């Protein structure tokens, strides 16, 4: 299951959580920060993170459903934080994997 905001789009042929900005495709500072996460990441397919950007995420459907998805009461602002914390509390690993 993948999500994309109205001001984002997926590159042809790939889903990626690496956000590139503008015509020059400059890497968004949040993507850079996530790629340098200090959390223990041994054995994972990317850097462990504790938060996501709502407009550029992909989840295992089972994880998303188990955590209850995005909370509609929040709509814009905070929904990704609450979902990220629920996923972590349930034992799911969140990773930044730009090559996805």
Model confidence pLDDT, tens digit, residues 51-88: 888 778 888 999 999 999 888 787 777 788 899 999 99
Residue 80, both tokens: 């990704």
Using a pLDDT cut of 70, give the percent of the chain over it.
Answer: 93
Handedness of CA 12, 16, 22, 27 (dihedral sign): negative
Residue 4 confidence (pLDDT) above 70 = yes
Q: What is d(CA 1, CA 23) in angstroms, rounded to the nearest whole number?
A: 27
**Average confidence (pLDDT) over 17-44:** 90
The pLDDT confidence band at residue 17, using thresholds 50, 70 and 90, is: low
Cβ neighbours of residue 4 closer than 8 Å, sequence gap 6 or more: 10, 55, 56
Q: Which of 29, 34, 74, 26 is nearest to 57 (CA)?
A: 34
Residue 1 confidence (pLDDT) above 80 = no
Q: What is the DSSP letter of 21?
A: E
pLDDT top residue among 66 and 23: 66
Q: What is d(CA 96, CA 68) in angstroms, rounded to the nearest whole number?
A: 21
With beta carbons less than 8 A apart as the criterion, state whether 50 and 82 touch: no
**Average confidence (pLDDT) over 18-36:** 89
pLDDT for 34: 92
Q: What is d(CA 82, CA 100) in angstroms, rounded to the nearest whole number?
A: 23
Using a pLDDT cut of 90, give the percent of the chain over it.
Answer: 45
């Amino acid at each position: 299951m993948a999500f994309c905001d109205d001001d984002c789009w997926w590159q042809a042929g790939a889903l990626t959580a690496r956000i590139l900005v503008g015509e020059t495709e400059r890497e968004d500072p949040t993507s850079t920060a996530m790629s340098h996460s200090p959390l223990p990441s041994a054995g994972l397919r990317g850097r462990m993170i504790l938060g996501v950007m709502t407009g550029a995420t992909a989840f295992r459907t089972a994880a998303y459903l188990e955590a209850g998805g995005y909370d509609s009461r929040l709509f814009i602002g905070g929904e990704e934080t609450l979902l990220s914390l629920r996923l972590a509390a349930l034992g799911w690993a969140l990773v930044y994997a730009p090559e996805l």
